[in-house]
């Protein structure tokens, strides 16, 4: 599924607050820290199966209200923090929806087995030749 900012924008809510760190004179005046909240249950972008998968994989990202929470306070601008938070949410959701490739078990080839056993015999013979007989 291809998620876009415009699709998610309709289902996202934001909370803003003052962030610590750099910002100069604005640091105590401007609310630049952004907390993005996304409700998986009420989303129309995902099927029920995808919602279950998201709930399972992102269970540690949910807050008490049942929302996926992404916090960004890296930039001095609220707008840039919103953009970064949306990008992080898109990345989070796409990674959670990816299904891992199924591993196909393989066997060691006969030639490899023979080569390994032959190598072991040569190594054993080399060590056997090092022994000193005191009789």
Maximum Cα–Cα distance across the chain:
94
Give this prediction's pTM. 0.67
Reading the chain (135 residues) residue by residue, the pLDDT tens digits are 677 777 777 888 888 887 776 666 666 777 788 888 988 888 888 888 888 888 888 888 888 888 888 888 888 888 898 899 999 999 998 888 888 889 999 999 999 999 999 999 999 999 988 888 776
- 85 vs 88: CA distance, rounded Å: 5
CA angle 124, 130, 135 (to 5 degrees): 115
- 46 vs 57: CA distance, rounded Å: 15
Top-level class of domain 5-97: alpha beta
- 38 vs 71: CA distance, rounded Å: 12
Tokens of 90: 């898109």
pLDDT score for 120:
97
pLDDT score for 123:
96
pLDDT score for 26:
66
Among 82, 72, 87, 70, smallest CA distance to 21 is for 72
DSSP for 96-126?
HHPPPPPPPP----HHHHHHHHHHHHHHHHH
Tokens of 36: 């993005």
- 48 vs 50: CA distance, rounded Å: 5
């Amino acid at each position: 599924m291809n998620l876009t900012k415009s699709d998610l924008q309709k289902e996202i809510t934001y909370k803003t607050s003052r962030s610590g760190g750099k910002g100069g004179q604005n640091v105590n005046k401007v609310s630049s820290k952004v907390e993005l909240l996304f409700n998986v249950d009420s989303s129309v972008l995902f099927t029920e199966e995808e919602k279950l998968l998201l709930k399972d994989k992102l269970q540690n990202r949910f807050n008490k209200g049942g929302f996926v929470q992404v916090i960004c306070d890296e930039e001095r601008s609220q707008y840039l923090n919103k953009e970064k938070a949306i990008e992080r949410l898109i990345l989070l959701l796409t990674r959670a929806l990816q299904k891992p490739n199924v591993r196909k078990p393989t066997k060691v080839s006969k030639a490899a087995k023979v080569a390994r056993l032959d190598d072991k015999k040569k190594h054993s013979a080399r060590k056997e030749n090092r022994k000193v007989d005191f009789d």
